[in-house]
Amino acid sequence: QVQLVQSGAEVKKPGSSVKVSCKASGGTFSSYPISWVRQAPGQGFEWMGGIIPIFGRAHYAQKFQGRVTITADESTSTAYMELSSLTSEDTALYYCARGDAGTELDYWGQGTLVTVSS
């Protein structure tokens, strides 16, 4: 059974960066894709980007290009999402999920709340 466990809630100042982690257990981490999806309060979902750890190359939604970096560490079965130049509009629940373009999101992390406030 695949489990994805994310890091804890963060409070950040406008203009700063945040890095969220997603540790996987079960399955073969290196060969399955991981996506990052966010959900603003009371809103729907936005796919931010994804990575297949064994290939190491991430791809991103156009909206987040240049501001988001997704990486993966095969040695610890952990994926990361770093978002820079934060504004209040980035306040949201951030989820990692197994899947990407071409595959459904079949397992999800518990979500990490990122609050951007001065």
Partner 1 sequence: EIVLTQSPGTLSLSPGERATLSCRASQSVTNNYLAWYRQTPGQAPRLLIYGASTRATGIPARFSGSGSGTDFTLTISRLEPEDFAVYYCQQYGHSPTFGQGTKLEI
Nearer to partner 1, 10 or 46 (CB): 46
Type of residue found at 17 = S
Contacts of 22 (CB under 8 A, 6+ apart): 4, 5, 6, 7, 34, 36, 78, 79, 80, 81, 96, 109
Kindly state the smallest distance separating residue 43's Cβ from partner 1, in Å.
Answer: 8
Contact yes or no for 36/7 (Cβ under 8 A): no
Kindly state the smallest distance separating residue 42's Cβ from partner 1, in Å.
Answer: 10
Nearer to partner 1, 90 or 100 (CB): 100
Residues forming the site for partner 1 (CB under 8 A): 35, 44-47, 61-62, 95, 99-106, 108-111
Nearer to partner 1, 1 or 118 (CB): 1
Tell me how far apart the alpha carbons of residues 39 and 51 are, in angstroms, rounded to a whole number.
Answer: 19
Kindly state the smallest distance separating residue 46's Cβ from partner 1, in Å.
Answer: 7
Tell me how far apart the alpha carbons of residues 107 and 105 are, in angstroms, rounded to a whole number.
Answer: 6
Nearer to partner 1, 32 or 95 (CB): 95
Kindly state the smallest distance separating residue 70's Cβ from partner 1, in Å.
Answer: 14
